[in-house]
Amino acid sequence: MDFLIHVDQSSGVALHRQIYEAFRGAILSGRLRSGEKLPSTRALSKSLGIARATVTMSFDSLLSEGYIEAAVGAGTFVSRSLPEDLMRPAMETGDSGSLSDPVLKAATPKVKARSRGRKRKDGTESIVSTGEPSAVQGYRLSWYATALRSREWLSFSPDEPNVQLSFGRPAMAEFPMRVWNGLLLHHARKRNLALLDSPANAAGFRPLREELAAYLSRVRAVSCQPEQVIIVNGSQQGIDLVTRVLIDRGDDVCIEDPGYIGAQKAFEAQGANILPIPVDKNGIVVDKLKQHEREREGFSPQLVYVTPSHQSPTGVVLSVPRRLELISWAKRVGAYIVEDDYDSEYRYKGRPIPALAGLDHAGTVIYIGTLSKVLFPALRLGYLVVPLDLAEVFTRAKWLADRHSPLLEQQVLADFIRMGHMERHVRRMRNLYEQKRKLVIEALKTHFGGAATVLGDAAGINVVVRFPSELSDDEIVARAKTAGIGITSTSHCYLGESPRGEFQINYAHLKEDAIDSCIGTLSKIANASRI
Amino acid sequence: MDFLIHVDQSSGVALHRQIYEAFRGAILSGRLRSGEKLPSTRALSKSLGIARATVTMSFDSLLSEGYIEAAVGAGTFVSRSLPEDLMRPAMETGDSGSLSDPVLKAATPKVKARSRGRKRKDGTESIVSTGEPSAVQGYRLSWYATALRSREWLSFSPDEPNVQLSFGRPAMAEFPMRVWNGLLLHHARKRNLALLDSPANAAGFRPLREELAAYLSRVRAVSCQPEQVIIVNGSQQGIDLVTRVLIDRGDDVCIEDPGYIGAQKAFEAQGANILPIPVDKNGIVVDKLKQHEREREGFSPQLVYVTPSHQSPTGVVLSVPRRLELISWAKRVGAYIVEDDYDSEYRYKGRPIPALAGLDHAGTVIYIGTLSKVLFPALRLGYLVVPLDLAEVFTRAKWLADRHSPLLEQQVLADFIRMGHMERHVRRMRNLYEQKRKLVIEALKTHFGGAATVLGDAAGINVVVRFPSELSDDEIVARAKTAGIGITSTSHCYLGESPRGEFQINYAHLKEDAIDSCIGTLSKIANASRI
């Protein structure tokens, strides 16, 4: 055997490990062939000048991992059970060990290209691995993944501007973080494993589900049992679970247009047949739903998705007559209403309107609650309230999705609500945000005069404003970015044609004294001419 | 107007709220009809003996929510825009207000039963709402949800026994919780919102992705870029995302039999055509995969799912020759290998075998890493390592699933790894668990003699043991429960027929001095005769 082993006493790598690596590499690269005999541990230890026990240790590893095998009384051999096609190329080409990736090269000659086309008949996509140029093989992705890849995706700048108007962030600086962190540490110190493991707990930490049921009854006039509450990782997971439980490819789904992009993308990726329903100053236009009903025999969409408290993005509040009309329509056609009750906490004119889930008691409404806008987005906690007969299937879907949401935050949140911190915080923020909203509206009047139109009602944590400009939306966004302002046009929320010059201003987290100058800058940008 | 309002000064409910509720209830129940005139605020305040401002406040709410409308100079009326069909039943039946749910009853006469059958042609399920007996309406769930409902589901006892052998829990008491909580509080105190919001961050906190890429290179011989690492909520979400990105209904999927139930259920619910592949002492039997390949023209499964480090549940380690064979086969047929590297940290004989993802460099392997067994299950953090050309689609799928995993724990974990705590902890636990494993094996010998067979290799945090008994598995489980021992048979892991008397013993979290007596109790149960 002319196989040389080098060991380097000064390399810092244990000697037995070096010997192991040397043999393993030689076997994988084909330099040592299947069935070839290895030197004895005695001979090797002598020739290398190291302890036999060290060599034995390496051989034990190689044995236990199947690279080599021992025949009683005959010695040690490279394992015969290693796949032959793995070894062949090295033997055929006489390659003596320069292969950087023997496994890959070995397998290449036998690779069959599975499908090189881009699109298959059923709409799924074949992809060509970009990993290695020599490995031309096709893998197919699911219809879902293909939909995700083929559609336009969201892109936001990763840079953080001085003033960020694009995202619905709460006023984090006002959050009672000391209280929260106190509870966090309290529960972190006594983490209790026994609270876990049971599939029944996929629906969430029971005391939190109880607190949320009581909270919803107090503030949203929703009467539900804790069994109907499913804790999820923010409203997006709520939307996702609803999508999976209710929608098959080709199913009719009605959504607001313009509407919330996170829901729209989820329904699209599931293959829903999206029916865009316009929104007016009273919210989703139920007459349009009725028109679909009249015009299509047996019309029976799986669901209608709405953001009634503060329509996303326009900011209108779904009026009570519309709410009742919507429920009545949904019952008639057998559609679920998916009520994304985003921004429900903040209404500055009158009390918050009771949720759809509070107006209906017949199991037509699936309620999605978010806490990201009330507490803080990084929390990743939200909840669903589902009709009782769907609680089990949603719990199973949640279990399969990720077992359960993180327990620690659920414990903290349960205490936070129980002790009254949540409602106290919401009350404080309602006053603060109302004040900030006024400043935004005033600044718009000051700088744009009558040119800027504020859409929507006095609610939520953002306003949508429309103003004329010679510049395109993209140009306005780009110039604002240069001026240190992050702003997003609502055009990506529209399914059909979108109006020009419509932007969302999220004000909850803005510093009061920054509002005026920020709007001033925007007005200068809007009034600039094209160059 | 003969409509009476009762206000109760002592009820604790604000008077304006009481008036609001009374009118709202009357309108919704049909006692006040559309177009009907309301008393003036002056008249009402006089008749009730309360301040007019209070009445006005109630009317403002009713106005702003659309229940009533004002005609200049004519007075206030019940809104004419309320849906007529909502009002009608009360009028028709002459019901004077005893309706518990006016919306529901109002809508009922026009409800069309959509489908009352249980199963539709396409396999989806029609359900009948159990909410209200009067509302007979059918809603259809998705194929996915129907699959979730129709199949047998997991059921574990919610009671916590004295000794729990059923779940793969780590030795929580040994976890450096003070270090962890110190980092937790540190990051909690300086929560930074700017780290969020960007869809690019759906893949996770960048420094954590970097730490994990480096960690995998050190301990699993996997060389990958941080861009390939996607942070998920535990391995179950990893499995779920893989399912959605790769599997369409009817796709062939190969899994180990017996195998991991969390993966099996996910693939089933997605509608995969499951091909069970047997497992022997070297892991998944690749010859069986080759047999499928020979017997079916154009055989091209989407993926093969394996648990190579410590097969779930049998505990065997996939040998190196098998690994190479598997990679070679997967490349040939164009299937992804989904490597769930659960329990990879603990191997008590030799070093851990490098991951499949480390043996292959051509993008065939999707690696799923879990931290639940190393740190603690409530953490809900795991990760995927995907081929570079799939990173974007997995990131999008993650964004749609729940935006991103909770940030705070990601920050803590990144530090925990960077500071060396993770590997230090794993080293400590490896010694501890090896010791506990020995105690389990000894106890089995002592109490069962030669009757108990231990399956699998010296790795992981559980052993599977098979022993004869006159009792059925269910009887053994029930009697163990009575004796304060939670134990689960492996029968639910088998797709075909399962052997009798095969149980999983998770020992990592057991107290050393409890092991012997627990196994002793089990042997008494096993040796008891049926009564």
Minimal-distance CA residue of chain B relative to A224: B131
Mutate to test the interface with A, among B142, B153, B383 (most CBs of A within 10 A): B142
B94 pLDDT more than 60: no
Q: Would you call A129 and B389 a contact, using CB atoms and an 8 Å cutoff?
A: yes
Q: How far is CA A5 from CA A25, A32, A98, A490, in A?
A: 11, 12, 16, 67
pLDDT band at B209 (very low <50, low <70, confident <90, very high): very high
Q: Which of A60, A135, A149 shows the shortest C-beta gap to B393?
A: A149
Tell me the two tokens of residue A321.
């007559």
What is residue B130's DSSP assignment?
Answer: -
pLDDT band at B49 (very low <50, low <70, confident <90, very high): confident
pLDDT band at A60 (very low <50, low <70, confident <90, very high): confident
Per-residue model confidence as pLDDT tens digits over B396-414: 999 999 999 988 999 999 9
B493 pLDDT more than 70: yes
CA B501, CA B510: separation in Å to the nearest integer? Answer: 22
Instruction: Say if CB B476 and CB B469 are below 8 A apart.
Output: yes
B231 pLDDT more than 80: yes
Mutate to test the interface with A, among B149, B235, B380, B399 (most CBs of A within 10 A): B380
CA distance A285 to chain B (A): 13
| DSSP reduced 3-state for B438 | helix
Tell me the two tokens of residue B58.
């109630």
Q: Which residue has the tokens 């051509």?
A: B362
Q: Would you call A112 and B67 a contact, using CB atoms and an 8 Å cutoff?
A: no
Q: What is the pLDDT of residue B399?
A: 94
CA distance A442 to chain B (A): 23
Instruction: Say if CB B412 and CB B180 are below 8 A apart.
Output: yes
CA A106, CA A81: separation in Å to the nearest integer? Answer: 16
* Helix, strand, coil share (%) of chain B residues, nearest 5: 45, 15, 40
- Domain residue ranges of chain A, discontinuous segments joined by +: 15-92+97-106, 114-150, 175-419, 424-526
Per-residue model confidence as pLDDT tens digits over A326-341: 999 999 999 999 999 9
Per-residue model confidence as pLDDT tens digits over B357-385: 988 877 899 999 998 888 888 888 999 99
Minimal-distance CA residue of chain A relative to B405: A380
Q: Regarding the domain delimited by A175-419, which CATH topology (the fold level of the hierarchy) does it fall under?
A: Aspartate Aminotransferase; domain 2 (3.40.640)
Q: What is the pLDDT of residue B193?
A: 60
Q: Would you call B107 and A232 a contact, using CB atoms and an 8 Å cutoff?
A: no
DSSP E strand boundaries for B352-511: 365-370, 382-385, 453-455, 462-466, 485-486, 488-489, 502-506
A364 pLDDT more than 60: yes
CA distance A522 to chain B (A): 22
What is residue B37's DSSP assignment?
Answer: B
More confident residue, B12 or A229: A229
Q: What is the pLDDT of residue B386?
A: 97
Q: What is the pLDDT of residue B159?
A: 75
What's the mean pLDDT when you consider all of chain B?
Answer: 85
Contacts of A99 (CB under 8 A, 6+ apart): A29, A30, A90, A105
What's the mean pLDDT when you consider all of chain A?
Answer: 85
Q: Would you call B103 and A193 a contact, using CB atoms and an 8 Å cutoff?
A: no
Q: What is the pLDDT of residue B139?
A: 82
Q: For chain B, give the percent of residues with pLDDT over 90.
A: 54
pLDDT band at A125 (very low <50, low <70, confident <90, very high): low
Q: Which of B82, B106, B124 shows the shortest C-beta gap to A321?
A: B82
pLDDT, average across residues A436-440: 96
Q: Which of B130, B321, B363 shows the shortest C-beta gap to A66?
A: B321
Q: Would you call A130 and B402 a contact, using CB atoms and an 8 Å cutoff?
A: no
Q: Which residues of B touch A188 (CB under 8 A)?
A: 177, 180-181, 184-185
Minimal-distance CA residue of chain A relative to B404: A380
Q: Would you call B389 and A189 a contact, using CB atoms and an 8 Å cutoff?
A: no
Per-residue model confidence as pLDDT tens digits over A244-282: 999 999 999 999 999 999 999 999 999 999 999 999 999
Mutate to test the interface with B, among A320, A326, A394, A492 (most CBs of B within 10 A): A320
Q: What is the pLDDT of residue A400?
A: 95
CA A6, CA B47: separation in Å to the nearest integer? Answer: 105
Q: Which residues of B touch A158 (CB under 8 A)?
A: 198, 200
pTM: 0.82
Element (DSSP H or E) covering residue A236: helix A234-246
CA distance A173 to chain B (A): 10
CA A377, CA A169: separation in Å to the nearest integer? Answer: 7
CA distance A260 to chain B (A): 13
Q: Regarding the domain delimited by B424-526, which CATH topology (the fold level of the hierarchy) does it fall under?
A: Aspartate Aminotransferase, domain 1 (3.90.1150)
CA B136, CA B115: separation in Å to the nearest integer? Answer: 10
Q: What is the pLDDT of residue B122?
A: 64
Q: Which residues of A touch B379 (CB under 8 A)?
A: 406
More confident residue, B250 or A27: B250
Question: 3-state SS of A460-514?
Answer: CCEEEEECCCCCCHHHHHHHHHHCCEECEEHHHHCCCCCCCCEEEEECCCCCHHH
B69 pLDDT more than 90: no
Q: Which of B138, B185, B349 shows the shortest C-beta gap to A181?
A: B185
Tell me the two tokens of residue A224.
């539900």
> Taking chain B, what is the end-to-end CA distance rounded to the nearest angstrom?
77
Q: Would you call A377 and B197 a contact, using CB atoms and an 8 Å cutoff?
A: yes
* Helix, strand, coil share (%) of chain A residues, nearest 5: 45, 15, 40
CA A367, CA A384: separation in Å to the nearest integer? Answer: 6
B271 pLDDT more than 90: yes
CA B286, CA B278: separation in Å to the nearest integer? Answer: 9
Q: Which of A101, A197, A245 shows the shortest C-beta gap to B167?
A: A197
B30 pLDDT more than 50: yes
Minimal-distance CA residue of chain A relative to B134: A362
CA distance A371 to chain B (A): 13
Q: What is the pLDDT of residue B326?
A: 96
Minimal-distance CA residue of chain A relative to B184: A185
Q: What is the pLDDT of residue B10?
A: 80
Q: Regarding the domain delimited by B15-92+97-106, which CATH topology (the fold level of the hierarchy) does it fall under?
A: Arc Repressor Mutant, subunit A (1.10.10)
**Least confident among A2-16, A390-404, A435-449:** A2-16
CA distance A472 to chain B (A): 23
Q: Would you call B141 and A246 a contact, using CB atoms and an 8 Å cutoff?
A: yes
